[in-house]
Structure formats: C-alpha cells, structure tokens
Amino acid sequence: METIPLRAASIGAQVHQQLRDAIVRTELKPGTALSEAEIAARYEISRQPVREAFIRLAQEYLVEIRPQRGTFVRRIVVSEVLDARFVREAIEVAVAREAASRADAAGIARLQSAVAAQGLARNNAEFLAADEAMHREIAVIAGREAAWRVVDQVKAQMDRMRYLSYQDVSPTDRLISQHRSIVEAIAAHDAERAEAAVREHMADILQQLPQLAQRYPEMFEGA
C-alpha cells in the first residue's frame, strides 16, 4: 500500500481514506492484518488517529476488530452488498427525481462533463472517480448533499465490487450508456424517466454479484 503524506488537519480522516482506498482497490486483501503500531509509525503519527480510522472502517464493514487478536480486512459479504444496494437505490432514486426538477444549465453541463470524463478514463481508478463525481453531482443539483454522505457511508462494499467488475463483468460502455440515460432524463426534467434510469443502473449489481463471487471466491463470503 502506497503511503501518501498527510496534511495537518483531519489526520484520522485521511488515514481512514487511504486505508479505505487500499481495501477497495484490493491492495489490502481479505484476511490481511492491519497493525495500529505499524501504520502509526509509517505516517509518523500517534496511534489514536489510526484507532479512529479502524473504527470507521469497521462501521463500513471493511475490517473486523477482534479484541486481543488484531484488526483484519473483511471479505465482501453478499448480504451486506444487497443491503447497501437497497439503501443506495432508495436514496439515489429520490435524489434523481429532485435533480430532474431543479437542474439548471450549469448543473447539466457538469453532469455531461462527468460522463465525458468516464469515456476518457485510462484505468478503473479514474473511471470510478468520474463515476462517483457524477453521482455526487446529482445530489448537489438536488440540494441533497447530506443524502450523498449517507450513500458514501453505506457503499464501501459496492465500491469493492465495482473495482473488481471494471471492464470485465461490467463493461464501461454499458455503464456510460446507463449514466448518459440518467443525465438525459435529468436534463429533460423528466423525473419518471430519471427514476427508471437509476433503477436500471442499480439493478446491474444483482447480475454482477454471482459472477464476481464465482470468479473471486477468496474475496466473498455468503455467496
């Protein structure tokens, strides 16, 4: 895992984000032991921010803290993915409907730019960053940034799946087409069409899940 220098503010949040990214990108694989002392030494910080990062990762079901034994990266639990998908769809459908009623020319242009960036992505990290930027922008247009923060908290397991599925199980051409349909519906101020496009997009994971669990059995639990 690459160590990126930390800024002075919000050290615990930065450690959390770097560890989260490493788990999502499978740089830290299931079963990997995470040492509070080693990570603190690597960043030259106290152990408290690392402990805080571990707690947040545990809340996102990315690690398991075992008393007296240590902290370990968890496998992707199928039931947790399905729960996260349910919550995310409920929120993003509502957000897309509001965005369709509130979108202005500037917001629509930002969404179109985010979709265009997906087509220019050179790897899965760049594509997923552009993907996330588009979904976040829809929440901004709707005036529901707090709703996006809730989505961000529950979607960690889905992010791991999306990283595994890039290009292979879930071709980017199909994803971009789905994203374009969402943006076009919002631009047309068509709430019904926006909702249908989001639901179709979110249903993809139901097809990807068994394929990925079969292909990467070491990554999944409860398949």
In the chain, where the domains are located: 11-74, 77-221
Fold identical between 11-74 and 77-221?
no
Position 101: which residue type? S
pTM of the model: 0.85
pLDDT digits (tens, 9 = 90+) for 129-182: 899 999 999 999 999 999 999 999 888 888 898 888 765 656 888 899 999 999
State the residue for tokens 């999944």: 220
Mean of the pLDDT values across residues 193-203?
A: 96
47, 37 contact by CB (below 8 A)? yes
Mean of the pLDDT values across residues 23-45?
A: 92
Closest to 161 (Cα-Cα) out of 88, 118, 114, 220: 220
- For the domain bounded by 77-221, which CATH number is listed? 1.20.120.530
The lowest-confidence range among 8-17, 63-72, 80-89 is: 8-17
What pLDDT, on the 0 to 100 scale, is given for residue 2? 55
Check pLDDT > 70 for residue 11. yes
Does domain 11-74 fall under CATH 1.20.120.160? My reply is no
What pLDDT, on the 0 to 100 scale, is given for residue 162? 83
What pLDDT, on the 0 to 100 scale, is given for residue 4? 54
In angstroms, the CA 74 to CA 177 distance is: 33
Closest to 14 (Cα-Cα) out of 42, 30, 31: 42
